[in-house]
A and B are shown apart, each in its own frame.
Chain A
Amino acid sequence: MIWHDWLLVMILLSSLGPGLIIFSLAESSRASRTTLNIFGAVTKMVLVLVMILGIYRGHSFAVHFTILPGLELVLRADPLSALFVTLSSILWLFTTLYAIAYLEDSPNRSHFFGYFSLCVTVTIGIALAGNLLTFLFFFEMLTLSTYPLVVHRGTAEAMAAGKVYLVYTLAGGILLFIGVVWLHAMAGPVDFSRPGLLTPLVAGHGTTLKIIFYLLLAGVGVKAALFPLHGWLPRAMVAPAPVSALLHAVAVVKAGAFGIIRIVLDVYGLDTARTLGLLLPLMLLSSITIMYGSVRALSQDNLKRRLAFSTVSQVSYIALGISIGSPLAIMGGMVHLVHQGLMKITLFFCAGNIAETLGIHDISRMNGVGRRLPVTMAAFTLAAMGMIGLPPMAGFVSKWYLGLGALAQGQGWIVWVLVLSSLLNGAYFLPILYGAWFKEQEGEWPADSGTVGSLESHWMLIVPPVITAVVSLLVGLLANSSLSPLAWVRFIVRTGYGL
């Protein structure tokens, strides 16, 4: 085995190792914990960079490990996994920085950061999974490593949310398990690098393939919060802000959306999925989820709950793009994986700042926050504008490609879904922005923890959202440069799927 085969394993180990060490650290050894966290995150980013350069030069990275005769765990880096790995590892670095400051002086930090690292390891595993079994392997582990984070606060509400989360995700996991086993029994090991594996089966086993598709879709759909499987997501917002950021932007929801991409494009293949008539139901389902999430977000007063329903809606753009199936729409969907991640993580960082610094959880109490926390609210505003899809922000790029792709495929009604959803996005984001910037403060803040020197809050709470907000602005503004996510997605669609 040459060095670059080990690269993928090292990418996994760069967060697993620190995570395991952190578990065994005492609560008080703050410095070594922080060092390990940042060391792991930076190492991972460097390794991922090496990997991307390799892929761009045409190297292929793969590791095989046999767990049963005929059954392999495969790690493989293709352009699509590189997209998700990069997103996760960059956002992990920022979330770690943020979490270190956010959880200062709260109990159980070793426990928290241990699971935090575990969670990212597993997410990277999902991204690098080279066949369906490996995907399932890491996908189930994701449930288990995120549960302790969701219930981290230990309140009755958190425990109840954790229970709901477990019920949804474990049930989804079992459906996925059946689907994978069934597919293996029919077609043998399903490797992502061999498209068209199922094509010969379409004629004889069409109905079975359809049932299996819906099993798999239900399995990943739970994590992707597809309507009606989204129930856990708004409840899980009781978790601390860094966890919500991780769930919504990096790990769980994204893993589900990524799973949908894998299943449609790499397991079934676009043509087979179209022949079996699987794309239209997925398209309808994601459209319904987009509208439903936005409508529900309107009536939420709790900021994090509103953001959670917004995630329900926004993540379905990814599924929508894939289900439309034209190259432009797929690009729009895939690039939204990155765009939504950047914007949503900014929003959750800001919501965490507002709650941490001022004790505000409800939108109705946010009047005048802009004057107290100008930097935070500026970042929030940028991200919210992006979410609404104002040109030339990141969200606009995604929606533009989705719309073009839909028109190219002759699905004009999708454009109306996009327009309506953008209006709804505006309807639930703009009042927040208006209130925060233009209304007067009403009464005292519930719990103002004061300024830190000349800064409005701890610097490690401010820097991550500012950076992610600026990056989310740049990926939209510079979408046409050769370093933008859009360019990489174009590369994926061209080389990976020949579209």
Chain B
Amino acid sequence: MIRLLLQGDCWLILPVILPLLGALLSFLLKKQPRLPGVLGALVTFFASAALAWKLVSHGGGRYYLGGWQPPLGISLRADGPAVLMVLMTAVTGLAVSVYAGGYFQSRINKRGEEQRHLAQERSFWPLWLLLWAALNGMFLSADIFNMYVTLELVALSSVGLTALSGKPASQVAAMRYLLVSLLGSLSFLLGVAFLYKVHGSLDLLAIGAALSLAPAVVMAMVLISVGLMLKTALFPFHFWLPPAHANALAPVSAILSGLVINGAWYLFFRFWQGVLPLVGEGAATLLAVLGGVAIVWGAYQAFCQQRLKMLVAYSTVAQIGYLFIIFPLMEMGPEQGAAAVFYFVISHSCAKAAMFLAAGTLFLQVGHDRISDLDGVRQVLPKTTFAFALGGLSLMGLPPTGGFIAKYMYLSQAVSQERWWLVAVIVAGSCLAAVYICRAVAHILSPRLVAVAGPVVVAASMEWSALALALVAMLLGFVGPLVLHLIEVAG
């Protein structure tokens, strides 16, 4: 039996099934949703790690749900990039889950509104695990219609999570997020319809192999790209992101900025990877220009923010730009380009989630997140402030962090391909990131004693999980060969 399990490819669906099961259990056990929630997260983490191990040792694989072959059945596929994303989601997801346990407990303990916080927690776990399942499904899909379904699942559960905090600002932000998401998904679906019309297949690999530049295909690519750009919040479609990410509950902000954004981008990348050799310089350059503007504009906006969570949210807008400036570089070196951008994605995910978690802890402890009034908070929450600073280092691309390795790969390709304007963008982005992060860090790490004193009200697990995630972002600065080895495994 176990031999059969190990040999077959059914391990591929475990990262999708297990969180779904956890979601169901935590929905049913209303009295105690945290236990199945955290347990589900833990099990999913190990399933994802096992999947990665299996991939490295036995190579990639495919799984046909219910034994149905395409075109009727749905197929899942494991290859390097997909499993890397699953693994990234597992690491960040586990930390967020541990954090969320402490977060809700601290909130329930803190004020008089136990019922409201209990209700929030009851909704949080099922939604979050559903989101996790949908994300893993998205990463592992080989079927473009299935991608649409997972996109919608991700959108619905993340909208639910956004609205969870109950603040008026978050309701409006969630509504806007939902409409943008629906628009993006429908645009994606219409693109899928066009592709199916031309190719008569829903399998991304089969489509990629037979791709041409027929008008219908161009139309499909435009629709799919615009849809996914909306969901990834690439400039100028970023307008919905900062209010949605900044007004959500702390674990939700981390999930949205660290994971959900990457999901939509991952699909975008998968589509473009195939067509890139066909479309030529112009389209890739257009994407890179948008990315470059996003980097500069997002960083400028981040610098102007007065609130810590808004600053981190705008920093996401800026960092998304890096995910798109890779496309011109990939024309001459597709493998190196993919390696660089995936390295960027995983280190950004860990670092950004750590920063949002840390910002949430500060918020809960101090009661606000006005940057200029956070002086001296280090004395109360040393681990949290350290985690924030460490995440910031990774965003700035300074050693010893994963961000440094990613920036190094970006720069070395831009320099060796002599694309000087990209060098300028990357350098400007790093400088601006340094400015806005140092501005925040100078306050929270300030040695001034105008303390936001008072007893520590946050759970220890909140501090430790954010720190652990930041340390993972740092560790990524040293495990380059391992990660690249994983990315290079073919499907």
Taking Cβ atoms with an 8 Å cutoff, the residues of B that contact A are 378, 382, 393, 398-400, 404-405, 407-409, 411-412, 415-416, 423, 427, 430-431, 434, 438, 442, 445-449, 477-478, 480-481, 484
Would you mind naming 29 contact pairs between A and B with Cβ atoms under 8 Å apart?
A: A66-B480, A67-B481, A68-B408, A68-B481, A68-B484, A108-B447, A137-B399, A137-B400, A140-B399, A140-B404, A141-B400, A148-B447, A151-B446, A151-B447, A153-B447, A154-B448, A154-B449, A159-B442, A163-B442, A166-B434, A174-B427, A174-B430, A177-B407, A177-B411, A178-B415, A178-B427, A182-B415, A184-B412, A185-B416
Determine if A71 is an interface residue (Cβ-Cβ < 8 Å): yes
CA–CA, A174 and B378, complex, Å: 28
Task: Say yes or no: is A350 at the interface (Cβ < 8 Å to chain B).
Answer: no
Residues of B contacting A71 in the complex (Cβ-Cβ under 8 angstroms): 408, 480
* Chain A residue at smallest Cβ distance from B378: A111
CB of B436 to closest CB in A, whole Å: 12
Cβ A67 vs Cβ B405 within 8 A: yes
Q: Are A68 and B415 in contact (CB under 8 A)?
A: no
What is the minimal beta-carbon distance from B310 to any residue of chain A, in angstroms?
Answer: 22
**Beta-carbon contacts under 8 Å, A158-188 to B:** 159, 162-163, 166, 170-171, 173-174, 177-178, 181-182, 184-185
B478 interface neighbour in A65, A69, A173, Cβ under 8 Å: A65
A144 interface residue per 8 A CB criterion: yes
Let me know if A374 is at the binding interface, CB within 8 A: no
Segment 64-92 of A: residues with Cβ below 8 Å from B: 65-69, 71
Check B423–A178 contact: CB distance below 8 A.
yes
Q: Are A185 and B415 in contact (CB under 8 A)?
A: yes
C-alpha spacing A495/B385, complex, angstroms? 48
> Among the listed A69, A137, A152, A170, which residue makes an inter-chain contact with B481, where contact means beta carbons less than 8 Å apart?
A69
Asked whether A136 is an interface residue with its Cβ less than 8 Å from the other chain, the reply is yes
Q: Which residues of B contact A67 (CB under 8 A)?
A: 405, 477-478, 480-481
Q: Are B415 and A181 in contact (CB under 8 A)?
A: yes
Kindly state whether residue A107 has any CB partner on chain B within 8 Å.
yes
Q: Which residues of B contact A107 (CB under 8 A)?
A: 447, 449
Q: Could you tell me the distance between the alpha carbons of A182 and B417 in the complex, rounded to whole angstroms?
A: 11
Q: How many residues of A contact B (CB 8 A)?
A: 35
Q: Given A69-B481, A151-B447: A141 and B431 within 8 A (CB)?
A: no
**Complex Cα gap A184–B412 (Å):** 8
A170 to B409, CA, bound (A): 19
Which of these, A23, A144, A148, A154, contacts B398 with CB under 8 Å? A144
**A68–B405 touching, CB < 8 Å:** yes
- On whether the beta carbons of A174 and B431 are closer than 8 Å, the reply is yes
Q: Are A111 and B447 in contact (CB under 8 A)?
A: yes
In the bound complex, what is the Cα–Cα distance between A177 and B411 (angstroms)?
Answer: 9
A141 to B427, CA, bound (A): 18
Report chain B residues within 8 Å CB of A166.
Answer: 434, 438
Min CB gap A73→B, angstroms: 8
B-contact 0/1 string along A210-226, CB 8 Å cutoff = 00000000000000000
Q: Which residues of A contact B478 (CB under 8 A)?
A: 65, 67
Q: Which residues of B contact A159 (CB under 8 A)?
A: 442, 446
Complex contacts, A138 vs chain B, CB 8 Å: 399
Smallest beta-carbon distance B144→chain A, Å? 33
In contact, B447 and A144 (Cβ under 8 angstroms): no
Pair A185/B442 contact, Cβ less than 8 Å: no
Q: Is there contact, CB below 8 Å, between B484 and A69?
A: yes
* B434 cross-chain contacts in A, Cβ below 8 A: 166, 170
Q: Which A residues are CB-close (under 8 A) to B477?
A: 67
CB contacts (< 8 Å) of A185 on chain B: these are 412, 415-416
- Which of B393, B409, B447 makes the CB contact (< 8 A) with A154? B447
| Bound: A138/B404 CA distance, A | 12
| Chain A proximity of B133: nearest CB distance (Å) | 33
A181 B399 Cβ-Cβ under 8 A: no
Name the distance in Å between A205's Cβ and chain B's nearest Cβ.
Answer: 12
Q: Which residue of B lies closest to A166 (CB)?
A: B438
Instruction: Given the known inter-chain contacts A107-B449, A154-B448, A185-B412, please indicate yes or no for A140 contacting B398, CB distance below 8 A.
Output: yes
A110 to chain B, nearest CB (A): 9
Taken together as a complex, chains A and B put the C-alpha atoms of A173 and B398 apart, in Å, by 9
Counting from the closest, the 8 A-B pairs by CB-CB distance are: A154-B447, A68-B480, A185-B416, A154-B448, A181-B411, A137-B399, A185-B415, A67-B480
Nearest B residue to A66, CB-CB = B481
Give every chain A residue within 8 A of B416 (Cβ-Cβ): 185
Bound Cα distance A490, B411 (Å): 40
CB distance from B393 to the nearest CB of A (A): 7
Closest to A108 in B: B447
Chain B residues, CB < 8 A from A177: 407, 411
User: Please, which residue of chain B has its CB at the minimum distance from the CB of A136?
Assistant: B399
Least CB distance from B368 to A in Å reads: 21
